[in-house]
């Protein structure tokens, strides 16, 4: 999961976190022309688009019957706007449009000491806008961005929890193609 760029390291906590992973301006332009997909930290004018994207992602999940909570989203957005050093939000952009996001954090393994893991809380892509092929590319680039950030936290493993109930086989193929190993599963049991 090398060779990724994360653009716009402007937040004080993230400048140090992403040092060494931001491309120079010449490489930056070449990367933009090559794929058209930019992975970066959020900017002030992204929040409305991120809100709509998260709503879209929610509507595709097995939990779509649960009403979307603007209040809970606002709490998460407040954290993402001012993240702690162990948290990060990355945005995927194509042609100036927000098309994906990854919200994740690093911390010690629950039952052990000295090992830092990164946990992805949400990795979503606007597959309607992108189409399946480009959506897969956005997904992979976001995951590469998570990996680049994880290295700055000395996290050697990334936990990707697929709990949407949507496009499970395709997501499994993407993660396995990136070197992921299935270590279990998530189940829903109605009470």
Give a yes or no: residue 35 inside a domain.
yes
**Helices 168-177 and 127-152, packing angle to 10 deg:** 40
User: CB under 8 Å to 59, separation ≥6 — which residues?
Assistant: 68
Give a yes or no: residue 55 inside a domain.
yes
Give a yes or no: residue 147 inside a domain.
yes
Per-residue model confidence as pLDDT tens digits over 21-43: 433 333 444 444 457 999 999 99
Q: How large is the average pLDDT for residues 114-138?
A: 94
Per-residue model confidence as pLDDT tens digits over 54-104: 999 999 999 999 999 999 999 999 999 999 999 999 999 999 999 999 999
Give a yes or no: residue 1 inside a domain.
no
Query: What's the distance, Cα to Cα, between the start and end of the chain in Å?
Result: 40
CATH number at residue 73: 3.40.630.30
- Find the domain containing 26 and state its range: 12-177
Give a yes or no: residue 191 inside a domain.
no
Closest CA to 23 of 35, 12, 11, 39: 39
Confidence of residue 187 (pLDDT cuts 50, 70, 90): confident
Give a yes or no: residue 183 inside a domain.
no
Split into its structural domains, the chain has a count of: 1
Query: Which segments of the chain does DSSP mark as H helices, in order?
Result: 12-17, 25-35, 47-59, 70-81, 127-152, 168-177
Give a yes or no: residue 186 inside a domain.
no
């Amino acid at each position: 999961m090398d060779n990724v760029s994360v653009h716009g390291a402007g937040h004080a906590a993230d400048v140090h976190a992403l040092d060494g992973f931001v491309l120079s301006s010449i490489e930056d332009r070449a990367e933009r022309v090559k794929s058209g997909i930019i992975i970066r930290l959020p900017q002030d004018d992204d929040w409305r688009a991120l809100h709509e994207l998260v709503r879209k992602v929610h509507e595709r999940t097995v939990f779509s019957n649960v009403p979307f909570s603007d209040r809970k989203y606002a709490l998460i957005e407040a954290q993402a706007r001012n993240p702690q050093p162990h948290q990060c939000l990355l945005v995927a952009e194509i042609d100036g449009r927000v098309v994906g996001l990854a919200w994740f954090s690093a911390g010690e393994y629950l039952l052990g000491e000295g090992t830092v893991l990164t946990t992805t809380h949400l990795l979503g892509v606007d597959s309607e806008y992108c189409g399946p092929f480009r959506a897969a590319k956005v997904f992979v680039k976001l995951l590469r961005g998570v990996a680049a950030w994880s290295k700055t936290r000395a996290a050697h493993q990334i936990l990707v929890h697929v709990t949407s109930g949507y496009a499970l086989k395709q997501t499994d193929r993407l993660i396995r193609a990136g070197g992921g190993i299935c270590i279990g599963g998530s189940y829903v049991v109605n009470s």
